[in-house]
Amino acid sequence: MQLKAISLAVLTTFAYSATAHDIGLEHKHVEGGHIAGTKFVSNNDIKATLWDPRGKSEAEINKRAEYVAAFFDAGRTDEDRKQDDKIKARYKDAIVINALMPSGVGIQGVPNEKYAEAIKKNQDNQVSLISTSVWAFEGVNDVSFEDTLKRSDQVHKELGVVKVSTTKEIRQAKKDGKMAAMYNSQGADFVIEDLDKVAWAKEQGIGVMNFTYNNDNALAGGGQNPENNGVTDLGYKFIERMNKERVIIDCSHSSDQTCIDMAKHSKLPVIASHSGVYKLYEHGRNLSDEAIKAIAATDGAVCTVALGLFLNVSGTASMEDIATHVQYVGQLVGRDHTCYASDYSHMYGDFLKAFIGVVDKYPPEKGFGAPAQNAGGGDIWGVARILETKYNWKEDEIRGFLGENLMRVYKANWGK
């Protein structure tokens, strides 16, 4: 199967040519920008919290990207991370899962060495399994889909990372002192014309797949559409095919109604691989209580995302910020339905330069492109420490959060 990649140059040239009339949301023009809902989006101030990239030059986009990227790693210092040493030692035998790590080779311009660096950061922090994104939407891969898979596989081979498709293989890799990896797809546009491609994806090592990336497609409603559309007729067939092929169904980036419909129709446990709680912060990428309950009712899991953009209005991603969302999910549906995802981009500045102007996927009115922090895969330990010390989570609950909750979901779907 050959899937054509759209070059970033073409994609961003289209984005830069957009005009202020392409906002697509209810808004009011005011001096210096516009107001959408209660949010002011500046048209001029490159250092504003929200900034409109429509109609801007490549130089202006790059300047904004460099400003925003400076906030990305500002959440924790190496000294702060030393506080996690004791809990890491106590749980050195635990299965630890980073439920979503973007991204594989050839996505957002990621070269082999950067993907290897990302793997090493997780490996050095006792992460047992990473789930790497190899697809999201047309244009995010600057090489073909197949090349992303092949080149990512090559990095795994060079680093001794074990590509897995069963929980037994994950546990064996842990026993052997090796890190495991699998792939995920944050959207499924590539299967719309042919659902047999679900089987192809499974063969490539894609163990988790979402319906869509933010926007509505032929399968389901996206999380950025205020209409909150759910699963389509084709989407229900997609769910059935996913269950048949034993690929785990994910609804992060999809709408709340999609999550609810997905959970009701799937015969196997489902997940939200990297989402926050809407009740704590009203953002389209976050889940309503109803959606969280629906996922948990399948014996599934909701993995709290470590990106400040989805955690709070200030965009911070402290261990307390993340733990607050985890604790909420635990109180709402049980601590055995919690998990963690870094969603950490290892080339964030380059990502912003390429995609900050793609307003249909990343509208500034929804907070995208704002200064925000991001915790990494290894920061799962800091979150676990807060869950223990502040919220009194017990050992079995911590082990569940670290990875066993997801292992339960994986085993139920994969069969072993």
148 has a pLDDT exceeding 90: yes
**Given this model, what pLDDT does residue 140 score?**
76
pLDDT (tens digit, 9 = 90+) per residue, 214-258? Answer: 999 999 999 988 899 999 999 999 999 999 999 999 999 999 999
Q: What is the CA radius of gyration of the chain?
A: 20
**Given this model, what pLDDT does residue 187 score?**
96
**Given this model, what pLDDT does residue 9 score?**
31
Cα 311 to chain centroid distance, Å, stands at 13
**Given this model, what pLDDT does residue 379 score?**
97
55-74 mean pLDDT: 90
pLDDT (tens digit, 9 = 90+) per residue, 180-219? Answer: 999 999 999 999 999 999 999 999 999 999 999 999 999 9
Predicted model pTM: 0.89
Q: What are the tokens at 214?
A: 């933010």
355 has a pLDDT exceeding 90: no
pLDDT (tens digit, 9 = 90+) per residue, 101-133? Answer: 988 999 878 999 999 999 999 999 999 999 999
Residue 7 pLDDT level (bands cut at 50, 70, 90): very low
CA–CA distance, 287 with 260 (Å, rounded to integer)? 10
75 has a pLDDT exceeding 90: no
Q: What are the tokens at 388?
A: 């223990």
Burial 227-247 (b: 16+ CB within 10 A, else e): eebbbbeebbebbebbbebbb
268-294 mean pLDDT: 97
18-24 mean pLDDT: 53
| Burial of residue 386 (number of CB atoms within 10 Å: 0-12, 13-18, 19+) | buried
18 has a pLDDT exceeding 50: no
Residue 3 pLDDT level (bands cut at 50, 70, 90): very low
Q: 406: which residues sit within 8 A by CB, 6+ positions away?
A: 97, 99, 271, 301, 303, 339
Q: Which residue has the tokens 């929200």?
A: 50
